[in-house]
Amino acid sequence: MISSKPRVVITHWIHPEVVTFLKGFCDPVLNESRRTWSPEILREHCLAAEGLMVFMPDTVEAAFLEQCPNLKVIAGALKGYDNFDIDACTESGVLFTNVPDLLTVPTAELAVALLLGVARNCAPGDRYVRSGEFKGWRPIFYGSGLAGKTVGLVGLGAVGRAFARRLGGFDCRLMATDENPVAEEILEELNISMCGLDDILASADVVALFLPLNEETRHLVNARFLERMKPGSILVNVCRGSVVDEEAVADSLERGHLGAYAADVFEFEDWALPDRPRKIPARLLENREQTFFTPHLGSAVGEVRKEIAMEAALQLKSFFSGEVPEHAVNPSIVE
């Protein structure tokens, strides 16, 4: 029997509670594995679909949309949508929604974890304990504490502000740069001073990146950027991999100028960039003493991921109920 409900494809595993909610208003096609579908399998599922829920490993471009003539709405279970061609969606009459708020705190928390992990040599220390060589305290693995250090934030949007709030108890000096004005009361609350990028690079012991990926920010962190950083300083990236030139980072680490690099995001993940690298540079992976990496865990908090998927499902329900979804990126499609 053919269902009268709209067919909606869910590209990655979601919590059972979200599946139950979806079944109340649509006919979901589920990826019940923990793997990413190949482009061919995804297109096959989407040929007759009216809705689609996408996640970070996915990408949507004009060619894909041409093969899915019935598609009306795409709900991103994500905040940043760099991997999705919004202009192509608009031209094809497809509404795109995202989830802008729920990832802020988990991402900021992970940025703090990465900073502490690389500054205090947590990964090398863990390997040392597991190796069987640990015989009790020795004067090794001396790292850098945060008390009294200067932390520079490149970007002071929602995640940057959440990061600054969480550093409030570490006795750091906080400074930030952002192309958008920030209200004075927010700066007072965060105990942070605004300055130029040159000032941050010259004086910060830690530089943390909180930027969107666009033409202006791609490879903002290049050889020249790194050379201007304070010798021995730490770079933390939880925004987008391609904001950083990873080969330039590897060079700077090898030369001893950059002290350490911690990241949750990598260039190869930015699927929409045709000239992106296909893997993390081997030099970075092999450098176990100056790097600390996590596999895109920014939103990897169980309850938060369920909330994100549920919010994406709510955007779909709103659309199929004839309403304008709250988090529509291109709302002119339905207005």
Catalytic annotation, residues: 240, 269, 296
Q: SS3 breakdown of the chain: % helix, strand, coil, rounded to 5? A: 40, 15, 45
Plot region of 219 (φ>0 → left; ψ -120 to 50 → alpha; else → beta):
left
Q: Where are the alpha helices (DSSP H) in 77-121?
A: 86-91, 104-119
Instruction: Please enumerate in sequence order all residues whose Cβ is within 8 A of that of 163, keeping only pairs 6 or more positions apart, or say none.
Output: 108, 111, 112, 153, 208, 210
Q: Tell me the C-alpha distance between 286 and 282, whole Å.
A: 6
Planar angle of CA 21, 320, 9, nearest 5 degrees: 60
Q: What is the DSSP letter of 279?
A: S
- Could you give the 3-state DSSP secondary structure of residue 52? strand
Q: Tell me the C-alpha distance between 207 and 176, whole Å.
A: 9
Rounded alpha-carbon distances, angstroms, from residue 326 to 227, 246, 274: 43, 37, 31
Q: Tell me the C-alpha distance between 193 and 296, whole Å.
A: 29
